[in-house]
Amino acid sequence: MALLEVNNLDVRFALRQGEVHALRDISFSLERGERLGIVGESGAGKSVAAFSLLNLISKPGFIAGGTVNFDGQVLNHMSERGLRKVRGNRISMIFQDPMMTLNPVLSIGEQMVECLKAHRRISSKEARAIALDKLQQVQIPSPETRLDQYPHELSGGMRQRIIIAIALLLDPDIIIADEPTTALDVTIQAEIMALLLDLCEQHNVGLILITHDLGVVSQVTQRMLVMYAGRVIEQGPTREIINDPQHPYTQGLINALPQMATPGEKLNQIRGSMPSLSNLPSGCAFHPRCDFINRADGQPRPACTQQVPEFVESGNCRVACHMVAEMLEDRRLKEETS
């Protein structure tokens, strides 16, 4: 059994206008030391997925079904007290915007020490020593003085290094990083990403990297999920998906990368935009934007607009697409007849 196994996770938001399905049927697993990417446009449900792993979704949202198994425990069935022992200790998180993440009125040292003391019975002095060590690991200049400084005295890059240091404080098994470099200057994004990757490898920490940047995912992760409108539409080994994307949406994402465009030409956008979760199109949620809803013979495929696609296995990947399913079926029939 893998270190982390998510089965059929289902998250809803109880809003005034009715219930909104934010995540449907999310399943994946993560081995010790493995790195997984979750990709999608904004609004696809990536962050909700990240927060639901530790049951941190805030109020109108709740986990309506499925399980998050971690090291023999079901996290979403655990008490708040039990969950607290996992949060920040065995699974830690890195948030998107380092400017908003650290508490402005508490010193860096205080915010590091409190985390250590919440999970271990140690003195403040020992906690400070560990904090100092981690600050050195994230290559912060003059770490001793940082401990007594406040967040506003540090730059965004520096703060994200501190948040990485806090994530590593208790030598966790998994780090969930929700767009860890999006809010940073472009010049230091690569630097922070390299640091995070390096430290994860060094300590054999599993990483769940949530991002909209396919380039980063392809460089950093071993496996990936592609999300669209609260669902996983394609998942499998990163290299296979990047080299041979099956789902039209994944293909669109890869084609939209700047390096895929011919110089001087327009970028290859996916037309249209993500539907709102409270008003999803029927059938496959992607069908209004899809170029492949017609069969080979030119007739539209009715399933695309009527039926939610099931997962089909294609090589090492799983894809939720009627066109792919049809192609695989054709191929199988041909093989049987020949």
Partner 1 sequence: MIAFLIKRLMHAILVMFVISVLAFAIQDNLGDPVQQMVGQSVPESEREEIRERLGLNDPFLVQYARFARNAVQGDFGYSYFYREPALEVIARHLPATLELVFAATLIIVLFSVPIGVYSAIKPRSPISRLFMGVSIIGISIPVFLTAIVLIQIFAIGVTVTLFPESTGWGAWLNAFFSTEGNMPSFGRGYDLVNVVGNWDTNLATWNGLQHLVLPAVSLASIMLPLFIRLIRAEMMEVLQSEYVKYARAKGISMRRVYFVHALKNTMLPVITVGGVQIGTMVAYTILTETVFQWPGMGLMFLDAINRADIPLIVTYLMIVGVIFVVTNTIVDLIYGLVNPTVKLTGKPA
List 6, 30, 39, 54, residue binding partner 1 (CB under 8 A): 54
Which 207-266 residues touch partner 1, going by CB under 8 A? Answer: none
List 100, 129, 194, 260, residue binding partner 1 (CB under 8 A): 100
List 43, 88, 109, 252, residue binding partner 1 (CB under 8 A): 88
List 78, 106, 122, 308, residue binding partner 1 (CB under 8 A): 106
* Total residues in contact with partner 1, by rule CB under 8 A: 30
Q: Does 14 bind partner 1 (CB under 8 A)?
A: no
Q: Does 78 bind partner 1 (CB under 8 A)?
A: no
Q: Does 150 bind partner 1 (CB under 8 A)?
A: yes
List 15, 74, 118, 190, residue binding partner 1 (CB under 8 A): 118
Q: Does 193 bind partner 1 (CB under 8 A)?
A: no
Q: Does 105 bind partner 1 (CB under 8 A)?
A: yes
Output the smallest distance, CB 183 to partner 1, in A: 11
Q: Does 86 bind partner 1 (CB under 8 A)?
A: yes
Q: Does 128 bind partner 1 (CB under 8 A)?
A: no
Asked if 314 and 233 touch (Cβ cutoff 8 Å), the reply is: no
Rg (alpha carbons) of the chain, rounded to whole number? 22
Output the smallest distance, CB 84 to partner 1, in A: 5
Nearer to partner 1, 122 or 261 (CB): 122
CA atoms within 13 A on the CB side of 257: 15
Nearer to partner 1, 105 or 186 (CB): 105
Binding site for partner 1 (CB under 8 A): 54, 56, 58, 80, 83-89, 92-93, 95, 97, 100-107, 114-115, 118-119, 150, 152, 166
